Structure 1
């Protein structure tokens, strides 16, 4: 009898641990760290995003019953429903639902007919409060993919040190004070399969094609191969800079 009672108490304790709300809570902002890690190995940004995407960031508000995500092209919002088993369902208006589940410190998005399994993690260096959806992913990507110091090996400003900041600012690159990596959307459609970066100064800028191979970053003028009545298709032209990671 005592053994049965002890077993019942143990089961109740374990059951309580298993259903701990903190273990199921998926509230917060989650970023596609796998895509960032893949890109940061020093290869093609576009290939890393395609292999680990398409979604870049989730913002989940369990109290309000809302969840939204961005794939870099569009922001999608849905209604969040808890099925009490640890899985949360996100119902979107006019499209299929997504299932989210917390796995330790990660957020798992189950595969659907249209999307593969994806895993997200909470940002270690969150974007400022009020930042738009996707800003946390961009901040983490910029810091990891282009962070640190780069030396201009050839091109304007040769010998100078360049620093790309996680907030999208850049120092030491002649003619530029801001930058943005192309992740998805129109810029990707016009890239011709190349990686592109937007460089601007005082609000005026242009797209450039770049290649990243380990510690070497080459930036080229972007040449439009399309006709005037066609969507632009960019390819690398003359090399403008060769940067080497220090």
Structure 2
């Protein structure tokens, strides 16, 4: 009888060790960067501290993995090694290691990136372009809610920044986009910037967010004609306050 119990117990242990690894398929976003930006107000500093990568999309069935850092998007082949770690191989010799730990997808520190952590995105669906799930979550958390124009054109009016990049109530704008990385970040230096567009016309503005207040400034270019733009704060255009 004792031998039978030992045999059964050993079988349970072996079956547990051989259990199928958790499927990482889906969209994963850098929620830590979103939380830091929402709490502190400085978007650029939050992205530098917790980025640079903002989103992963993983398709285990097709052995594909995509990532976005707000400027660059890349796709690699996905394989699981003998230790159960996920290896993403990109064109050339580039490789990243991913691992599921509890409810997080952890990107291991490498020669290119620091360790970064991601959580599953709620929306939009799996067919959304890579990077858009992070943007939706960021826009909702960072600029969501109702804003009132305390100073500037349209004073007294209400402004709504939608998660899909549309804006209502801000004179001269129907779309917006926050600068996350790339050329716009290089041109803005230490400042955060927002692109406002009406129809086919648009331009960059610099902004500062502190608590429930959002100040939007003209972006003054101090660079020469043959140089990359170098934007600095100009005259304040709007002062918005979140209700």
TM-score normalised to structure 1 length: 0.93
* Equivalence for 1:157: 154
Q: Shift of residue 8 of structure 1?
A: 4.6
Give the whole-Å Cα distance in 1 for the aligned partners of 2:17 and 2:208.
48
- The number of equivalent residue pairs is 243
* Equivalence for 1:125: 123
Question: Is the alpha carbon distance of 1:208 and 1:87 closer, same or farther for their aligned partners in structure 2, counting shifts above 3 Å?
Answer: same
* Equivalence for 2:176: 179
Give the whole-Å Cα distance in 1 for the aligned partners of 2:18 and 2:209.
46
Gaps of 5+ in 1: none
Question: Is the alpha carbon distance of 1:18 and 1:138 closer, same or farther for their aligned partners in structure 2, counting shifts above 3 Å?
Answer: farther
* Equivalence for 2:15: 16
Greater shift, 186-195 or 174-183, is seen at 186-195
* Equivalence for 1:61: 59
Q: Is the 8 A contact 1:139 1:166 kept in 2?
A: yes
| Counterpart secondary structure, 1:119 | strand
1:214 equivalent to 2:206? Answer: no
Residue-by-residue CA offset, 1:26-58 (whole Å, 9 max, x unaligned) = 111111111111111142100000000010111
Question: Is the alpha carbon distance of 1:29 and 1:19 closer, same or farther for their aligned partners in structure 2, counting shifts above 3 Å?
Answer: farther
Question: Is the alpha carbon distance of 1:33 and 1:11 closer, same or farther for their aligned partners in structure 2, counting shifts above 3 Å?
Answer: farther
Q: Shift of residue 7 of structure 1?
A: 4.5
* Equivalence for 1:197: 194
* Equivalence for 2:135: 138
Residue-by-residue CA offset, 1:87-146 (whole Å, 9 max, x unaligned) = 11111121331111111221111111221111111112225x643210000000000000
Question: Is the alpha carbon distance of 1:11 and 1:181 closer, same or farther for their aligned partners in structure 2, counting shifts above 3 Å?
Answer: farther
Gaps of 5+ in 2: none
Residue-by-residue CA offset, 1:187-216 (whole Å, 9 max, x unaligned) = 111112210000011121110000011111
1:23-42 to structure 2, matched below 5 A, reads 23-42=21-40
* Equivalence for 1:78: 76
1:170 equivalent to 2:176? Answer: no
Give the whole-Å Cα distance in 2 for the aligned partners of 1:98 and 1:8.
41
Q: Shift of residue 5 of structure 1?
A: 4.3
| Counterpart secondary structure, 2:34 | helix
Q: Shift of residue 19 of structure 1?
A: 4.5
Greater shift, 23-32 or 44-53, is seen at 23-32
Give the whole-Å Cα distance in 2 for the aligned partners of 1:133 and 1:236.
32
Give the whole-Å Cα distance in 1 for the aligned partners of 2:9 and 2:61.
31
Q: Shift of residue 17 of structure 1?
A: 4.0
Q: Is the 8 A contact 1:42 1:215 kept in 2?
A: no
Greater shift, 87-96 or 149-158, is seen at 87-96
Give the whole-Å Cα distance in 2 for the aligned partners of 1:179 and 1:10.
61
Q: Is the 8 A contact 1:82 1:88 kept in 2?
A: yes
TM-score normalised to structure 2 length: 0.94
